[in-house]
Structure 1
Amino acid sequence: MEKRMTFGRAILPLIVMISVMLATIVVLKQGPHIPLIAGAVVAALVAWRSGYKWKEIEEGIYKGIRLALPAIIIIILIGLIIGSWIGGGIVATLILYGLQILTPAFFLVSITLICAIVSLAIGSSWSTMGTVGVAGMGIGLSMGIPAPMVAGAIISGSYFGDKMSPLSDTTNLAAGLTGTDLFVHIKHMWYTTIPGLLIALAVFWYLGRNFSSQETDTAGIAETAAVLRESFVISPFLLIIPLIVFVLVAKKVPAIPALVVGVLLGFLAQVFVQGSSVSDAVSALQSGYVIETGNVLVDELFNRGGLDNMMYTVSMVLAAMSFGGILEHTGMLRAMMNKILKVAKTSGSLVAATVLSAIGTNAACAEQYVSIVVPSRMYAQSYKDKLLQSKNLSRALEDGGTLTSVFFAWNTCGVFIFGTLGVSAFDYAPYAIFNFTVPILSIIYALTGFTITKMSTEEIAEVKREKIASAQARA
C-alpha cells in the first residue's frame, strides 16, 4: 500500500486525543494516561491505513520513548531528591528561613526572582523547581497563598532562567539547530523575554497586595514554624547541600551526576543530622518521606517524594511519547506543518506560524525538545527563502516551544510540574504569566515586524551561492 499522509488524516488522532482528554479530565475527573493511549491507538490505525507497516509504527513509538529517556531519569532523580531532602531536613530549613525572610505581600515577586536567578545560574528549570520550587510551595502555602498562584510564580521564574541561560539545553538546542551563535540568540530573546518577565512581576505584585501582613494568618505561620522546629533539626549548615548541587550544575557538571550527589547528601543528612535509621532513609528514597504531626499543612507538604511517587509521572511520559513518536515518525506532524506553510506567505506570518507550530507540537508530541527540533527542520529553508536571519527562527522556537510546554498536562514538563509541585496544569495555567505573555509578545512582534531582522548583504550572497551549488549538485 502506498504511504500517503494527508492533513485530514494527520489531524484526526490529535482531535480524538484532545476530545477524549477533555472528557476524561473535566467530566470524569480522571488522569490523562488513557486519552494519550487512545490517541496513540487512533494514530497507529491512521498510519496503517496510510500504508505504514506495524514495524514502522512500532519504531516510531520506540523513537519517541528513547527521546524521553533523559527526562525520565531526571524525573526519577527529582523524586529521590525530594524524598531525601525532606527526610534530611533541607526542605524544612529552607521553608523555615523563608518564612522569616519573605513577606506575604512580596512573596510572589520574590519567589519569581529567586527562581529566575537560580535557573539562570544553573540553566535548568526542572532542577530549580525540584529544589527551590518545592521549598517555595511550602513557604507560600504557609502564608495562605493559593497553591496555583505560588506554582505559577515558581514556573515563571524557573522558565525565565531556563530560556535565557547559556547553560540551558533548550537554549543551546535552538541556537545549534538553526545555526545561530548562542549569544546572538540570547541577545535577540531579550526583546520578548525581558518585557514578559516585567509583566509577570507586575501582575504578581498586584496579586500579592491581597496577602499583606495584616491580612495573613500570622498565628498559622507561627504554628507551622513551631511544628517544623519540633519535627526536624534545623541548621544553616543544611543549606550547603543545595548550594553544592547548584554550584556543580553551574560548573557544567551534567544534571544527572549533580542530582545524584544531591540525593546522596540528603540521605546522609537524614541519617547523621536528623538521626533517622538507614532503613527509614532508604524508605524515603523508595516510597517517600512519611510524617504525622497533626498539622494538616505540614503533613500535606512533607508526606511526599520517593521513587514510587514518580511512577505516575513516568508512565504518563511513556504514554505521551508513544503518541508523539507515531505522529512524527509516520509524517503526520509534517503534514500538519506543510498545511501551515501554505498559509504563511509573509515574513511576519512565517514567524507567527513558527511560534504557533511549536505550541501545537507541544500539544501533539508532548515533549519540549520535539517542539524545537521539528519546527526548526520544517521552517529553516522558508526563513532563508524570505531572507530572514536565523536568530528570528531560534527565538520563535524558544518563545513558542520552551515556554508553552507547561500548559499541557500530558506534556513531559506539565507532568513533571504536577509530580514535583503537586499542582495540575489546568490549575496553575492562569498564573504562569511569563510563559503565556512571551509567546503573545512574539506573535505581536512578528505581525508588526518589530525586531524581525533581515539578512545582511553578505548573508544574502551566501544563500544565493548555496542555491546555485544545490542546483548544480542536482543536475
Structure 2
Amino acid sequence: MEKPKKKISLGLALIPFLVMIVAMTFVIIVFEGSPHIPILLGAVVAAFIAWMCGYSWSDLEKFIYQGITKVLPAVIILILVGLIISAWIGGGIVTTMIYYGLEIISPSFFLAAMLIICAIVTVMIGSSWSTIGTIGVAGMGIGISMGIPPAMIVGAIVSGAFFGDKMSPLSDTTVLASGIAGSKLSEHIKHMLYTTVPAFIIAFIVYFFMGLKFAGNTVNTENIDAVMNNLQANFVISPWLLLIPLVVILLVVKKVPALPALTVGIILGFLADILIQGGSIGEAVNALQGGYSIKTGNETVDHLLKQGGLDSMMYTISLAMVAMIFGGLMESTGMLNAIVEQILKLARTGKSLCATTVVSSFFTNVITAEQYISIIIPGRMYAKSFKDKELHPKNLSRALEDGGTITSALVPWSTDAVFVLSTLGVSAWAYAPYAVLNYCVPIISIIFSLIGYSVVYTNKKEATD
C-alpha cells in the first residue's frame, strides 16, 4: 500500500539546497573540483527527504526522468555547437574573424566592441549559445592576442550575448516569458527596454574605460603581428569565408529553426576545411569528434585553435543532466514551491511583488541550474498574485527575464555557465565580476520596482500600494 504523501515543509526543503551549497564550496573552492558530485549529493538528500515524506522510488525515478527530459533540447544544441566550433576553426572561418578583428578593432575599444557585436548578432539570431560558440570563440582569439585577460573578454561576450537573447523576438526565453505571463511579445520586449537599456549603457561605459588600460603602449604589438602572420601562413584567410556565418544568421532570421540552421553551418565549415583549407576528409571528421588542433610553432595560436568537437561538450552535457536530476526532484516533490511560497509572503504590494519575482527567478536559477525553470516556476506561482494586484502581465514577464534569463550565466553550475566554460575556457567564478550587464539588469529592475518606476497597472492607477 502506498504511503500518503506529506507536504514538505520549508525547513526540509532547504536541507538539500544547503547540503549542495556546502559541498559545492568545499569541492570547487577548496579542492578545485567540478560541481557534479555536490549537485548529485543534493539530489540524493532531496530524494531521501521525499521518500521519508511518502514518495515512492517509482515517483522519484519519474521526477528524475522528467527533469532530464527538460534539458534534452539544450543537449542537442550543445552537440551541434561543439561540431560547429570545430568545423569553423578547421574551415578557416574563425581564423578569418580573428585576423580581420586584429586588423580592425583597437585594443582600447575591444571590450566595448565585443559587447555591441555580440548583442547585435544575438538579437538577429535569438541564441546566446550560437553567438558565444562562434563570435565568442573568435573574440577570445582576438582579445587574448591583444593581451586582454580572458575573464574580461568573456564578461563582455556574455553581456552582449545575453542582452540579445533577452531582447530578441526569436529567443526561446523571450517567447517563453511572455507566454507564461500572458503578455504580448511586442509589449514584453518594449517593457524590458526600461531595465535592459540602462544596464547596456552602464556596461558599455565600464568596458570603454576598462579598455583604456590596454591602449597603445600597453599592448605587445609584436605578439599581435606574430599571431596574424602565423594565421596567414597556416590558413587561407579570405573575406568570402565570412559568408558562412552570414548564411547561418540569415537562415535564423528567416525563421529556420536553430537545429537545421546550425547543421548547415557545420556542413559549410566542413566543406571549407576540405575544399578551401586543403584538409583531408579523415582529419576533418576526427576534428568533429575530438576537436580541432594544430601545431604552428606559435603557442598562442595553438592554444586558441585547440577547441570544439563533440567530446568537448561532454562535460557540459553531463553537468546539465546532473543539474536537472536535482532540479527535477526539487520541483516535482514541491520543495521548490515550499521555498518560493515563503518568499511570496514578503510581497505585500505590487511594487514589492515585482522585486520579489526578480529575486525568486534568480533563486530558482541557483537551485535548479536551468533558466527555463527559473521562468516557468515563478511565472506559474506569481501569475495570480499579479492579477489580484491589478498589475499588467508585462510586469511579470519582464521580472521573469530580469531575474531568470539574464542571471543564469552568473550561476557557475548552471547549463549556461558550464556552456561558457566548455566553449571559452573561463568559469563563471572568474568572469562573473566582468559580466556587467548580467548583474546590472536585476539590480536596476529591483530598484525600479521598489520605487514604482515603469510598474504598470491594468487599472491605469500608479499606486494604491
Q: What is the CA deviation profile of residues 304-325 of structure 1, one whole-angstrom value per residue up to 9, with x for unaligned ones?
A: 1100111111111110111101
Match for residue 323 of structure 2?
A: 320
Task: Give the aligned residue type for 2:313.
Answer: M
1: CA distance between counterparts of 2:405 and 2:422? 19
Deviation track 1:109-166 (CA, whole Å, cap 9, x = no partner) reads: 1111001110111111111111111101110111000000000000111111111111
Equivalent position amino acid for 1:436 in 2: Y
Between the aligned partners of 2:357 and 2:62, the Cα distance in structure 1 is: 27
> Residues 152 and 433 of structure 1 are in contact (CA less than 8 Å); yes or no, is this contact kept in structure 2?
yes
Segments of 4+ moved more than 3 angstroms: none
Instruction: With the length of structure 1 as denominator, give the TM-score of the two structures.
Output: 0.95
CA distance in 2, matches of 1:436, 1:164: 16
Determine whether 1:454 maps to 2:457.
Answer: yes
What is the CA distance between 1:415 and its match in structure 2?
A: 1.0
Q: Which amino acid aligns with 1:134?
A: V
1:217 aligns to 2:220 (yes or no): yes
Of residues 335, 340, 345, the one that matches 2:348 is: 345
| Aligned AA (2:158) | I
Q: Which residue of 2 aligns with 1:394?
A: 397
Distance 1:420 1:457 in 2: 47
1:366-414 deviation line (CA, Å, top 9, x unaligned): 1110000010000000111111111110000000000000011211101
186, 201, 206: which is aligned to 1:203? 206
For the residues of structure 2 that align with 1:54 and 1:297, how far apart are their CA atoms?
A: 52
Deviations 1:248-296 (A, max 9, x none): 1111111111001111111101111111110000011000012112212
**1:380 is paired with a residue of what secondary structure?**
helix
User: Which amino acid in structure 2 is aligned with residue 382 of structure 1?
Assistant: S
Q: 1:107 aligns with which of 93, 102, 110?
A: 110
Q: Which residues of structure 1 form unaligned runs of 5+?
A: 459-475
Matched, 1:310 2:313: yes
| 1:229 and 2:212 correspond | no
Aligned to 1:469: none
- Asked if structure 2 preserves the Cα contact closer than 8 Å seen for 1:115 and 1:132, the reply is yes
Residue aligning to 1:472: none
- Residue number among 20, 23, 46 corresponding to 1:20 in the alignment: 23
Indicate conservation of the 8 Å contact 1:4/1:51, yes or no: no
Distance 2:236 2:229 in 1: 12
**What amino acid maps onto 2:259 in structure 1?**
I
The 5 Å alignment of 1:30-49 reads 30-49=33-52
Q: How does 1:324-335 map to 2 (within 5 A)?
A: 324-335=327-338
In 2, Cα distance between equivalents of 1:276 and 1:443: 53
Query: In structure 2, how many angstroms separate the alpha carbons of the residues matched to 1:277 and 1:164?
Result: 41
Would you say 1:358 and 2:361 are equivalent positions?
Answer: yes
| Residue 457 (structure 1) shift | 6.7
Query: Is residue 279 from structure 1 mapped to residue 276 from structure 2 by the alignment?
Result: no
Q: Distance in 2 between matches of 1:456 and 1:58?
A: 46
Distance 2:53 2:221 in 1: 64
**Structure-2 separation of matches of 1:235 and 1:68:** 38
What is the aligned-residue identity percentage?
56
Map of 2:435 onto structure 1: 432
Q: Secondary structure at the match of 1:361?
A: helix
Q: What is the distance in 1 between the residues matched to 2:73 and 2:421?
A: 18
Code of the residue aligned with 2:243 in structure 1: it is I
Q: Deviations over 1:58-97 (max 9, x none)?
A: 1111111110000000011100001111111111000000
Where do 5+ consecutive residues of structure 2 fail to align?
A: none
AA matched with 2:251: L
Q: Which residue type is aligned with residue 278 of structure 1?
A: I
**Would the aligned equivalents of 1:356 and 1:400 in 2 still touch at CA under 8 Å?**
yes
Which of residues 256, 262, 273 is equivalent to 1:259?
Answer: 262
- 1:321-359 CA-to-partner distances (Å, cap 9, x unmatched) read 111010001101111111111221111221111001100
Q: Residue 387 of structure 2 aligns with which residue?
A: 384
Q: Is the 8 A contact 1:81 1:305 kept in 2?
A: yes
Report the alpha carbon displacement of residue 3 of structure 1 after superposing the two structures with TM. 2.1
User: Counterpart of 1:301?
Assistant: 304
Paired position in structure 2 for 1:8 = 11
What is the aligned partner in structure 2 of residue 153 from structure 1? 156
Distance in 2, Cα, partners of 1:249 & 1:422: 27
SS at structure 2 position matched to 1:345: coil
Q: Over aligned residue pairs, what C-alpha RMSD do you find? A: 1.0
Instruction: Quote how far apart the aligned CAs of 1:10 are.
Output: 0.7
- Structure-2 separation of matches of 1:361 and 1:149: 27
Residue 138 of structure 1 is aligned with which of 122, 128, 141? Answer: 141
Query: TM-score w.r.t. structure 2 length?
Result: 0.97
Determine helix, strand or coil for the equivalent of 1:343.
Answer: coil
Please give the per-residue CA displacement for 1:10-36, whole angstroms capped at 9, x wherever unaligned.
Answer: 111011111111110000001111111
Tell me which amino acid in the other structure corresponds to 1:53: S
Aligned partners of 1:261, 1:347: CA distance in 2, in Å?
Answer: 47
User: Which residue identity lines up with residue 85 of structure 1 in the other structure?
Assistant: W
Residue 76 of structure 1 corresponds to: 79
- Give the conservation status (yes or no) of the 8 Å contact 1:399–1:442: yes
State the partner residue of 1:444: 447
- Measure the CA separation in 1 of the matches of 2:161 and 2:195: 16
Match of 2:426 among 423, 427, 446: 423
Partner of 1:463: none
Tell me the distance in 1 between the aligned counterparts of 2:143 and 2:362.
Answer: 30
2:413 pairs, out of 401, 410, 418, with 410
